[in-house]
Structure 1
Amino acid sequence: MHPQSVALLLAATSLLAVNPVRAQEVDPGSRQGATPPSVGTGARDAPAPEIVVTARRRQETAQQVPLAISVVDADKIDNTGAFNVGRLQQLVPSLNFYSSNPRNSAVNIRGIGVPFGLTNDGFDQGVGIYVDDVYYNRVASATFDFLDVAQIEVLRGPQGTLYGKNTTAGAINITTRQPTFDFEGRAEVSIGNLGFTQAKASVSGPLSENVAARIAFSGTDRRGTIRNVRTGAWINEQDNLGIRGQILWEPSATVEVTLAGDYSTQDPECCGTVFVRTGATQRALNRQYAALAAAQNYQVVSTNPFDRRTDIDANLNAGNTIAGASARIRWDTGWGELTSITAWRLWDWLPENDRDFTGLPITSVSQNPSQQNQWTQELRFNHDGDGIDFLLGAFAFYQEVRTQGTQAQGSAASAWLLAPSSALSRDPSVLNGLTATNDIRLDNLSLAVFGQASFELTDSLSIQPGVRLNYDKKDGLYNSVVTNGSGQLVTFTSTDPRIVAQRGVLAPQFFEPEFDDWNVSYDVTLAYAITPDIRAHATYARTFKPGGVNLNGVPNDAAGNPVLEVGAVDPERVSHYEIGLKSQFLDGRATVNLAAFRTDIRDYQAQVVNGQTGVLRGYLANADAVRTQGIEIDASLRPSARFNTYISGAYTDATYRSFPDAPCPPELSGGTTVGAGQSPSAPGTPGGLSPANCDISGQRLPGVSKYALSFGAEGNLPVTLLGREGQIYLGYDGSYRSDFSSNPSPSAYTWIDGYDLHNLRAGFRTDAGLNTFVWVRNAFDEDYFEQLQVPSGNTGLIVGNPGDPRTWGVTVQAQF
């Protein structure tokens, strides 16, 4: 973060923190009172506060909602350091977040949502991210700090009959704090090791009798966790800055208009990897990593990934900007509420990567800057009546993505990428300067009408059917022009041996994939109140995820033509079953919620990693069938105002039910493809015979742990400290995830061991809204990987992204 930005944020938060009395004196007669959190009275029978959610587009308690939902409030976010979606997964076991850089990020629920590790703009997300009713199409937004967030609801299971964009796996519904007609303010400053500084501030209050405004700032800065010995820099740092403003206008008692705008930017030196291991493939032995490295006298800086050292030589950058504006109008018609949400979103991505993952100049330039503009319009009408409630909605979405890609090979490319038996491999000029310039475009249109009703059949039993009609159209363009170091075009018509070798590394390609289709989805839920505090529900949903187009290059046939049949992929067809039980007892002090689910997907959109070096990225393909099923539990206990504890757990069995023609893992790749009457060699046989594809039916989906847990507790005691009445408290939050595969086709080389993380905090908070605490995250300094990656080329190299080491610091909060 720029030093001036940090200074401004620290100054703003300091002013707010030291002047709470003055703030409380402003406008004592305003219509909404400031609401600092109470620290409790000490009563031993204090029930847990009711949690109000808007998951079904109306206010109700979380226990009343007949769907699986996890709710995380602002205090939990602040106390646990879960300041973005990536860290939220430590609190919500069914949520999976993986990221090698902001663009190449995946948010999944119950193991499904988007293909793991795939960078491709041509497909839709299975998990919708909504902020104040506005749909965020880019998962890159998940890497930014939460900005003035009041509450986050993670909805599990299909949500297409309630939400604007169809989502087959779930939705993350983020609600920010709204403008108030009483003056209020919040401030937070944190400092810690690794140069960590974070500042947040927000101010809200009236501008006139019927106009209120709110403005919020957030900034995070932290040194990187990996040392690049080549440059001396610490890479993979955090460098976030955001601002959000809102204006609320109430022209009458029945109309409410909220205008909002936000701007957030990141500019870290990111995102690099470390060497993890090598594994034998079926490539010729002299074309595997050890031999290739030895031939160039290259030795990796460390073979221990948790030394956190690398020597990658290409420029790194993860410049990332999101911004937007929205207008939300709510009109209470007397018979129901009509809501309109109009929004525009911008995403600007400026990356630079080291695509060879080594300290050798094999790929000297790799960058795919991209710009997106998104427009959405949603209309909803909610009616709450005696015996029947319903929601009717319409949604329009248009997205325009423009990407300009460049990949250039360096002076070590010939020796690394060409067969050592060829004289061309000993001539650096063959591949040095070989450059692919890519023009990638997407125009994406989605239109929908949707609705859901609730009929009270008896005082205890209700039925909730829903339906959605959707139209999707995607028009793409992929144009890759390749030139060599002499400026010559690389074509498939040339027979020059140098050109032939060059197009085997970077191949020119042009195609215009397209997709359009209509789909109908529906769901039905039965909800039954066994007692006022025990409720059961059962859901069946038949839904879909729109088809997509491939925008990262596809394989070429023998004549050099793109294989157009893989230019587009079919929609996913989803059948979802779920039963749940929600219960409270001990006068509301204990809550236990259970859910069991099964989701079957036909034509699952999977990642295919092609062995051709000239294919820049993996691409989409349809696997025949996938199933995810499991059991989830959320439980909490608050025996008194002095103690509370919680545990959440998920067992998720997510597997390919049928994928007989999947890409092979690295240990079965790189050799000569088997012919008629031949059998593949054993895994990891250098120079062996490789199957054309592999049957991975029955194997686990990537990125999914079978077992995941989140758990914690907090205890407090009333004290008077420095003349202030309040509490001292001690809190603990832990999480556990069992092992998972980090490759689309499970490989012996890419399983990530299970790990557990433990966070501690201790502090003092007052009845007046001051809170100071020290914290330690990953307290036992657990070594773990967030993701492992298999570079292209079948050399056997495995690189990874290590998780954060132990961090510690102090936070001061004030609100009034």
Structure 2
Amino acid sequence: MLTFVRTTLLASTILAASPALAGTTAAPAVVDAAQDAPSSVGTGATDEPEIIVTARRRQESAQAVPLAISVVGGEHIDNTGTFNVGRLQQLTPTVQFSSSNPRNTTLSIRGIGAPFGLTNDGFEQGVGIYVDDVYYSRAASSTFDFLDVAQIEVLRGPQGTLYGKNTTAGAINITSRQPTFDFEGRAEVSVGNLQFKQAKAAISGPLSDKVAVRLALSSTSRRGTIYNVKSGNWINEQDNLGLRAQLLYRPNDDLDITLSGDYSIQDPECCGTVFARVTTTQRAANRQYDALAQSLGYTVASRNAFDRLTDVDADLNAGNKIGGAALRLKWDRGEGTLTSVTAWRFWDWKPANDRDFTGLPITTKSQNPSQQNQYTQELRYNYSGTHYDFVLGAFGYYQTVRTQGTEQLGSAASRWLLNPGSIAAAPPGLPGCGPSASNQLACDPSVLNGLTAFNTIYLNNTSAALFGQFAWKVTDALTVQPGVRVNYDKKVGGYQRLVFDGSGNPVLFTDPNTGLPITDIRTAARRDQLTPQKFDVADSDWNFSYDINVSYKVTPAVLVYATYAKTFKSFGINLNGVPNNAVTGEPILAVATIKPESVNHFEAGIKSRFLDDAVTLNLSAFRTDISNFQALVNSGQVSTTRGYLANAEKVRTQGFEADLSLRPSERFHLYVNGAYTDATYRKFSGAPCPPGLSGGGTASPASPAGTPGGNSPASCDISGSPLPGVSKWSASYGAEYNLPATLFAKEGQVYFGFDGNARTHFSSNPSPSAATDIAGYALSNFRLGFRTKGGIDLFGWVRNAFDVKYFELLQVAPGSTGLIVGTPGDPRTFGGTLKVQF
């Protein structure tokens, strides 16, 4: 079915392009400014000095907004192949994105936003994603293609007094192209290597003098970038299909009522990894990765990650459906505008993973499908006057999450995962498993083979808020703008894991008949890998936050500003399980709830234009201090707790940013955006340990890292260490040059464009380690094409032109064997794109 839809979309896109290429004219269209917005971070035909944004819930020049903001126009999104938020980080260096699969997606700004690693549904995002005023509660939505996008605004810093859901790190405000009362259409088709095919189409026009409609579709498919020698398939492919429909009712010039709906689906074979490297842990020498692999006769497909070979043997899937409906009302009351946004969104997630990252039957099944629904209502009134402006808003939010998971271990699990123990006799025939072997428990496959856990998770999440900002125009140059927010949050959730051995018998902590603890060593070994657990948790909290911004126009072209914000990120609950009491097996409920983050944010900046608006230069400096930072703690085993949240005492992110745009003539445009970000744990005394300190005994004192057979600390103090995923230096840059030309009997421009981005090294693990450090890299993209004012754009492109070999993500494999696996970034890709507007 998806193939049929894609073929039809591709054919219709080409047909739509044909009249324009042949010289046929269409009815002229009157397009709003937001329909073809210019870009503050890109280059192209529609770039202009004046960029209109809605960051403060009203239309105004980006240079007049006293906050750090980057604007990416729809044209630049298309030209650079930036078709989802993951690729947006290549254009905006203050955005950090990592994803091992859609659910385990981390989106941060300036190093903060969400815990790095496995995602827990019981906490909030620090970066808000808004599409046409609708809040998207999960970063998984960012893995989908942008659909008919006019403009993206990246707002850095807390935004809770302006936006519906509180956001402590920033917001990504996405505006789609809206229905028009003049007929218009656009079509785009791209083809490239790796069997890349992408088609986009949109059409808009009136149904009557009061009703307009807009329809948009998008499809992306590409062969995977990693070859699985076990299955014979290319994995980590792209397989996206999306559609959006909008109906605008305008009974008079004062009132717009827009009903919109969207639906997107992904169905790739994803997400696998490759062998990256091995580090030495505290496990005994014969329990390290290389020794275990040799004893089992296992050889990985390749020890060179950029051979792009894997042999993972479990099912892989990243089935993903997301969609919803929204009703937006905008009523112009003359002195102000009343806006109401009512929305429902859903997300269905059907994953399958290989959690041992090898071709051995260790974890043979790992899947936690979930169904999420959210309902939001925002009511907002904007007033703009001569002496003051203000925004008043109310926001309500309700979310439900239901998850049903299955985890199962295989015949190699005992050998791979268990530490030395003893049983009466070892089964013959396994290497190193004679009667005198010290690791006889680990040599008995029946201990863990077939061990299965069934997980049930639920969450009911309620939030309500009143918020507002007041801007007092003290003089024509000086504006003082305070803001406040009152927020209520309530979370009710629960976690249950039922565990059964390979014969179907329940794995328990106590005997149901006698009530006595079960101390059998085989049962204890099973509980250590898949821990039975059940708990329910509920909590609620009120929070008050505020900010104040002072801005001053030194000249009409120079604005300086300073901001202080006292804000928060609401409390969370652990929904991936919590540690159990080692004696009774009862969940330690003291860590079931995570304290709210307390945030103090300082920022100052300058926005300027000079040389007759040919040069735009914006500078900002910031410092954000967070107490009780919500951080992820990972278990070293397969899934004792598959990662749970804890509070780091203090975190600080500070730095400066510069955005430069230069356009000396209509023939040439250059931009450079740079960021220095120093994001560190100021104090984190109970952190998870890096891989080199894991897997050892529990006796004191702890041994130096990488001591086989040594002792491991229960936790580590990583105070002063950098936050994961953050490069200290990062930049994006680009230029374009064009010349007048005639092609297909049409006058236009031949242009050559370049876009690049670079970043220094960064940590890919919650606790830094040389084994999980990713080296810095720079990527370069080129395009050469021809475009006309009539709406034709034909260009060829090459991305990662120099075929730079880099990792997007490194992960520590479970079991403390020292295995590090990685997700390689895209290799060099190339192709062509045809875009037509009519």
Q: TM-score, normalization: structure 2?
A: 0.94
- 1:403-442 per-position Cα deviation (integer Å, ceiling 9, x unaligned): 0010001111121122353433333222111100000001
Shift of 1:295: 1.5
CA distance in 2, matches of 1:77, 1:117: 27
Shift of 1:285: 1.5
Residue 523 of structure 1 aligns with which residue?
Answer: 547
AA at the equivalent of 1:2: L
Residue 279 of structure 2 aligns with which residue?
Answer: 279
AA at the equivalent of 1:734: G
Residue 478 of structure 2 aligns with which residue?
Answer: 461
**Secondary structure of 2:58's match?**
coil
- 1:275-327 per-position Cα deviation (integer Å, ceiling 9, x unaligned): 01110011111221112111211111110000000000000000000010000
Residue 580 of structure 1 aligns with which residue?
Answer: 605
Count of residues in Structure 1 that have an aligned counterpart in Structure 2: 805
**Secondary structure of 1:19's match?**
helix
Residue 136 of structure 1 aligns with which residue?
Answer: 136
Residue 452 of structure 1 aligns with which residue?
Answer: 469
Q: Is the 8 A contact 2:37 2:150 kept in 1?
A: no
Q: Is the 8 A contact 1:638 1:644 kept in 2?
A: yes
1:797 equivalent in alignment to 2:819: yes
Residue 321 of structure 2 aligns with which residue?
Answer: 321
Residue 216 of structure 1 aligns with which residue?
Answer: 216
Distance 1:146 1:30, change over 3 A: closer
**Secondary structure of 1:424's match?**
coil
Q: Is the 8 A contact 2:35 2:150 kept in 1?
A: no
**Secondary structure of 2:145's match?**
coil
CA distance in 2, matches of 1:801, 1:101: 11
Q: Is the 8 A contact 1:33 1:182 kept in 2?
A: no
1:595 equivalent in alignment to 2:617: no
Residue 538 of structure 1 aligns with which residue?
Answer: 562
Shift of 1:636: 0.5
Residue 741 of structure 1 aligns with which residue?
Answer: 763
Residue 652 of structure 1 aligns with which residue?
Answer: 677
AA at the equivalent of 2:805: D
CA distance in 2, matches of 1:568, 1:155: 30
Shift of 1:612: 4.4
Residue 374 of structure 1 aligns with which residue?
Answer: 374
CA distance in 2, matches of 1:302, 1:775: 31
**Secondary structure of 1:268's match?**
coil
Residue 805 of structure 2 aligns with which residue?
Answer: 783
**Secondary structure of 1:772's match?**
strand
1:755-766 superposed matches below 5 A:
755-766=777-788
1:424 equivalent in alignment to 2:427: no
CA distance in 1, matches of 2:6, 2:244: 17
Shift of 1:29: 9.7
CA distance in 2, matches of 1:720, 1:167: 49
Root mean square deviation, CA, Å: 1.7
Structure 2: runs of 5+ lacking an equivalent: 39-45, 421-437, 511-517
CA distance in 1, matches of 2:136, 2:17: 32
Q: Is the 8 A contact 1:23 1:185 kept in 2?
A: no
Shift of 1:30: 8.1
Distance 1:24 1:518, change over 3 A: farther
CA distance in 2, matches of 1:773, 1:30: 26
Q: Is the 8 A contact 1:24 1:183 kept in 2?
A: no
CA distance in 2, matches of 1:681, 1:25: 75
- 1:77-114 per-position Cα deviation (integer Å, ceiling 9, x unaligned): 01111110000000000000100000000110000000
Q: Is the 8 A contact 2:248 2:257 kept in 1?
A: yes
Q: Is the 8 A contact 1:34 1:184 kept in 2?
A: no
CA distance in 1, matches of 2:643, 2:747: 59
- 1:526-563 per-position Cα deviation (integer Å, ceiling 9, x unaligned): 00000000000000000000010011111111121111
1:563 equivalent in alignment to 2:580: no
AA at the equivalent of 2:239: D
1:609-624 superposed matches below 5 A:
609-624=634-649
AA at the equivalent of 2:99: S
Q: Is the 8 A contact 1:47 1:588 kept in 2?
A: no
Q: Is the 8 A contact 2:35 2:178 kept in 1?
A: no
Shift of 1:34: 12
Shift of 1:720: 1.4
1:513 equivalent in alignment to 2:537: yes
**Secondary structure of 2:442's match?**
helix
**Secondary structure of 1:8's match?**
helix
CA distance in 2, matches of 1:343, 1:669: 46
Residue 813 of structure 1 aligns with which residue?
Answer: 835
- 1:202-244 per-position Cα deviation (integer Å, ceiling 9, x unaligned): 0000000110000000000000000000111000000000000
Q: Is the 8 A contact 1:635 1:647 kept in 2?
A: yes
- 1:662-704 per-position Cα deviation (integer Å, ceiling 9, x unaligned): 11111112212243xx3x2111001112222211111100000
Residue 16 of structure 2 aligns with which residue?
Answer: 16
CA distance in 2, matches of 1:236, 1:518: 43
1:21-36 superposed matches below 5 A:
25-26=26-27
Residue 204 of structure 2 aligns with which residue?
Answer: 204
AA at the equivalent of 1:485: G
Distance 1:31 1:521, change over 3 A: closer
AA at the equivalent of 2:451: L
Shift of 1:610: 2.4
Shift of 1:791: 1.7
Q: Is the 8 A contact 1:37 1:769 kept in 2?
A: no
CA distance in 1, matches of 2:608, 2:199: 39
Residue 433 of structure 1 aligns with which residue?
Answer: 450
**Secondary structure of 2:154's match?**
strand
Q: TM-score, normalization: structure 1?
A: 0.97
Which moves more between the two structures, 111-120 or 521-530? 111-120
Q: Is the 8 A contact 1:637 1:645 kept in 2?
A: yes
Residue 231 of structure 1 aligns with which residue?
Answer: 231
1:769 equivalent in alignment to 2:791: yes
**Secondary structure of 1:217's match?**
strand
**Secondary structure of 1:512's match?**
strand
CA distance in 1, matches of 2:630, 2:416: 33
**Secondary structure of 2:721's match?**
coil
CA distance in 1, matches of 2:485, 2:528: 46
Distance 1:185 1:796, change over 3 A: same
AA at the equivalent of 1:65: V
CA distance in 2, matches of 1:291, 1:34: 60
Residue 117 of structure 1 aligns with which residue?
Answer: 117
- 1:726-777 per-position Cα deviation (integer Å, ceiling 9, x unaligned): 0000000010010000110111210000000000000011121101000000
Q: Is the 8 A contact 1:654 1:701 kept in 2?
A: yes
Shift of 1:364: 0.5
Equivalent residue in structure 1 for 2:710, among 673, 678, 688:
688
Residue 90 of structure 2 aligns with which residue?
Answer: 90
1:299 equivalent in alignment to 2:299: yes
CA distance in 2, matches of 1:774, 1:629: 40
CA distance in 1, matches of 2:24, 2:601: 51
**Secondary structure of 1:351's match?**
strand
Equivalent residue in structure 1 for 2:733, among 693, 711, 734:
711
Distance 1:279 1:32, change over 3 A: closer
CA distance in 2, matches of 1:663, 1:736: 30
Distance 1:31 1:364, change over 3 A: closer
Q: Is the 8 A contact 2:807 2:824 kept in 1?
A: yes
Give 4+ residue runs of structure 1 displaced > 4 Å after superposition: 20-26, 28-38
**Secondary structure of 2:771's match?**
coil
CA distance in 2, matches of 1:168, 1:35: 29
1:355-370 superposed matches below 5 A:
355-370=355-370
Which moves more between the two structures, 2-11 or 645-654? 2-11
AA at the equivalent of 2:550: L
1:656-671 superposed matches below 5 A:
656-671=681-696
Identity across the alignment (%): 64
